[in-house]
Structure 1
Amino acid sequence: MPPTVSAVRHGRVYGRAVGGPVVLDARTGADMPTKPEVTPVLVTEYTGLVLDDRRLYSYPAGG
């Protein structure tokens, strides 16, 4: 089953799959080497915003 996409930024697709949050390479669809702990709804070059239980959190964006 494909993941539900939550955000796209700079060649990465962020989403949630059955096993939890995922980051995919936008060109190939391959898993990115880092294991995300959250699913952002918006990503900038510095921050990923995560909406959880109607609260907004920010996390440093990885590169």
Structure 2
Amino acid sequence: MTAAWHGRVYGKGPAGPVALDARTGTDMPTKPEAAPFLVNEFVGLTLSEGTLYSLPTGG
């Protein structure tokens, strides 16, 4: 687990980043581009090789 926000849990797995429903543990319908370490209603922040990236969050 890297972050959680409003019922969604983000993390990294063998196949890449994942987003799970916090209540059921099932995969969310949209696969995230990255596993953010900080999330709010607008963006998720992720760090890759020393570069900070912000990605829009989705419903």
Band of TM-score, shorter chain: over 0.9
Aligned position for 1:10: 6
| TM-score, normalisation: structure 2 | 0.95
Q: Percent identity over the alignment?
A: 61
Q: Which residue, 32, 35, 40 being the options, matches 2:28?
A: 32
Q: Give the unaligned 5+ runs of structure 1.
A: none
1:53 maps to 2:58 = no
Q: Give the unaligned 5+ runs of structure 2.
A: none
| TM-score, normalisation: structure 1 | 0.89
Task: Report the residue type matching 2:33 in the other structure.
Answer: E
